[in-house]
Amino acid sequence: MRIGLIGFGEVGSIMGAGLRGQASAVSAWDRLLPDALASVRMREAARSGGIELVDGPASLCAASDLIISAVTASSTLSVAKTIAASIRRGCWFLDLNSASPGTKQRAAALIDEAAGRYVEAGVMTSVPPYGIAVPMLLGGPHAAALAPILSAWGMKVEVASERIGIASATKMCRSVMIKGLEALVIESYTTARHHGVEQAMIATLRETFPGIDWSRQGEYFFSRVAQHGRRRAEEMREAANTVREAGFEPFMASAIAGKHDWMAAAAVAGGFSSWGTGRGWQAYADQLLQQGQEAANDE
């Protein structure tokens, strides 16, 4: 089987490298590829992974029996529309994107109307630690046929439902909790750092939830949001859509999206968007506090 990746960022490049040995060919396209500066990492990942970069979505469709969509949440529907214009009859379309059930249903209609086979996937945790074995829930009428193929390649998949939207609803409800915890930790820890009570505060968290290493977890949360805040904010806006689709006002999901956007902007302005783990959460908090003080002085 020939695999095509639309979106060659962190998730797409990990999927491509992991599946290269399972496919006769792996190709990829990303909207940033025409930008020579922005695509440096992608081109290096393609060279090292034996992945062919193609010149556009039509070329990707012509070269693929299975297309994996791994783009930002806000691009989920537009990418499905773009691929539907060129997808070959019977080609699988595996949608990994973090989008609401309604968005996935509209994307599925576009692909299926073009005679493709749409399968939604809810990626249930962070991809980097797991690679292609990251747990996924699959959904849709074609999911049961695709699942054994993916399993044979080493992917950890489970069919959630024949209905489009069940897998994504599971993913989105989880995201409200996980991304919400990230936002809460950033706000709580940074404020505690300002008042000099971080050790006492974390000690109380450890007492209440002894199974969590709160310092280590805090560092991980800070680093991931610093690196991927924009993407996480987009996901949370889709989570907010999921809440609206249930008939509720998404007060929390919308606020979480705002916090992730704020952190992403602070990370770029402060130059700590690429720090990663190893510096401790305190370094992130100190940088945020410094930026806040500088902003106050400017006023």
Pair (83, 198) in one structural domain: no
pLDDT band at 277 (very low <50, low <70, confident <90, very high): confident
Rounded to an integer, what distance in angstroms lies between the CA atom of residue 45 and that of residue 40?
9
User: Which CATH number is 255's domain given?
Assistant: 1.10.1040.10
- 175-202 tens-digit pLDDT: 999 999 999 999 999 999 999 999 999 9
- 197-246 tens-digit pLDDT: 999 999 999 999 999 999 999 999 999 999 999 999 999 999 999 999 99
Sheet holding 2-6, edge to edge: 52-53, 25-29, 2-6, 66-69, 92-95, 117-123, 136-139, 157-161
Residues of the chain with pLDDT > 90, as a percent, come to 92
Rounded to an integer, what distance in angstroms lies between the CA atom of residue 209 and that of residue 6?
40
* Per-residue confidence (pLDDT) for residue 187, from 0 to 100: 98
pLDDT at 37 over 90: no
Pair (122, 189) in one structural domain: no
Pair (198, 156) in one structural domain: no
Number of domain units in the chain: 2
Pair (208, 240) in one structural domain: yes
Q: Which residue has the tokens 């747990």?
A: 135
Pair (207, 283) in one structural domain: yes
> Residue 261 belongs to what domain range?
168-298
Query: Would the pTM count as exceeding 0.85?
Result: yes
The mean pLDDT value for 135-147 works out to 98
* Per-residue confidence (pLDDT) for residue 299, from 0 to 100: 77
Pair (235, 151) in one structural domain: no
Pair (158, 179) in one structural domain: no
Given 93, 128, 163, which residue is the final one in a domain?
163
* Most confident segment among 21-25, 35-39, 88-92, 292-296: 88-92
Pair (158, 172) in one structural domain: no
Contacts of 21-28 with C-beta under 8 Å, sequence gap 24+, read: 22/152, 22/153, 22/154, 25/52, 25/63, 26/2, 26/50, 26/51, 26/52, 27/2, 27/3, 27/51, 27/52, 27/53, 27/54, 27/59, 27/60, 27/63, 27/64, 28/4, 28/52, 28/53, 28/54, 28/60
Pair (134, 121) in one structural domain: yes
